[in-house]
């Protein structure tokens, strides 16, 4: 039997999911961490149980994250959740002890490129609102960055997407999408905490981004996971667990 005090004393890990997912998508990682960490995997506004929460903005989501854990914690994020995690680490550096980013980027530095992406995101948001969630979930799974995932993992991801609503996902895209969030490329040198950058070997865009980010972050390590694509936490949760348990110096909290 696990002692409640032991669980409370375990290091806290906050896990932020990607667009269209929910906190439940982290279950393979949570299960692997077991009792070694106290995991918190919220549904981000616009998704699943937080689908009706308004407004869906970066500021409100950062406030939500700040309320999750009063003490110092490790913060991990995947894809859109990674972009949010980056902003959170920059806004609350005294609270985020470590940062783990999976298939993430600091945003689009070019204003014109970001404006174009915002327009594209708006068109996609309108399309999402016009479809039943089942149909959009099927279409989203066919995007190039996700469509080569194993069938069993794809099936679990599909069920996870059905927890959300078209209205909520459209709001999340408008408020938290790549076109909506400001770039933080110039602020990467401010990250004083250890930062683990993880990307799948098949995810060539984000492997390149991880290496580029590492050149600007003072205490960054890059892990390219063999055989994995964009969703490393689903395809190779062991690699993410290892990164979450690692401490500076290459040792482990296990």
Return d(Cα 195, Cα 150) in angstroms, integer: 28
205 close to 175: Cβ distance less than 8 angstroms:
no
The answer as to CATH 2.60.120.10 being correct for domain 4-252 is: no
Q: What is the mean pLDDT of the chain?
A: 94
Contacts of 190 (CB under 8 A, 6+ apart): 90, 93
Tokens of 45: 């506004």
Distances (CA, A) of 65 to 77, 121, 145, 154, 191: 12, 24, 27, 28, 18
- Going by the DSSP 8-state scheme, the letter that residue 57 receives in this structure is -
This prediction has a pTM of 0.94
Residue 246 has pLDDT above 90, yes or no: no
Residue 98 has pLDDT above 70, yes or no: yes
Tell me the pLDDT band of 1, cut-offs 50, 70 and 90.
very low
Residue with tokens 């940062």: 99
Model pLDDT for residues 127-175, shown as the tens digit of each residue:
999 999 999 999 999 999 999 999 999 999 999 999 999 999 999 999 9
Return d(Cα 245, Cα 231) in angstroms, integer: 19
Residue 5 has pLDDT above 60, yes or no: no
Model pLDDT for residues 165-218, shown as the tens digit of each residue:
999 999 999 999 999 999 999 999 999 999 999 999 999 999 999 999 999 999
As a whole number, mean pLDDT of residues 11-19 equals 97
Closest of 178, 161, 155 to residue 106, by C-alpha: 178
Instruction: Determine whether 118 is exposed, middle or buried from the number of CB atoms within 10 Å of its CB (0-12, 13-18, 19+).
Output: middle
């Amino acid at each position: 039997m696990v002692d409640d005090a032991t669980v409370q004393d375990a290091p806290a890990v906050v896990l932020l999911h990607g667009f269209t997912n929910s906190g439940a998508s982290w279950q393979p990682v949570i299960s692997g961490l077991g009792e070694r960490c106290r995991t918190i995997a919220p549904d981000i506004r616009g998704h699943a149980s937080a689908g009706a929460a308004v407004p869906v903005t970066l500021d409100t989501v950062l406030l939500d994250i700040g309320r999750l854990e009063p003490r110092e914690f490790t913060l991990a994020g995947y894809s859109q959740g990674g972009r949010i995690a980056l902003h959170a680490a920059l806004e609350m550096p005294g609270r985020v002890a470590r940062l783990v980013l999976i298939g993430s980027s600091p945003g689009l530095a070019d204003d014109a490129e970001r404006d174009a992406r915002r327009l594209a995101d708006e068109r996609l948001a309108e399309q999402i609102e016009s479809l039943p969630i089942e149909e959009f979930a099927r279409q989203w799974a066919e995007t190039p960055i996700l469509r080569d995932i194993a069938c069993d993992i794809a099936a679990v991801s599909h069920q996870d997407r059905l927890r959300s609503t078209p209205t909520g996902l459209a709001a999340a895209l408008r408020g938290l999408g790549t076109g909506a969030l400001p770039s933080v490329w110039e602020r990467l040198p401010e990250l004083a905490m250890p930062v683990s950058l993880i990307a799948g070997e098949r995810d060539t865009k984000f492997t390149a981004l991880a290496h580029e980010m590492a050149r600007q972050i003072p205490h960054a390590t890059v892990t390219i996971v063999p055989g994995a694509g964009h969703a490393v936490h689903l395809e190779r949760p062991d690699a993410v667990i290892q990164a979450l348990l690692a401490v500076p110096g290459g040792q482990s909290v296990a």
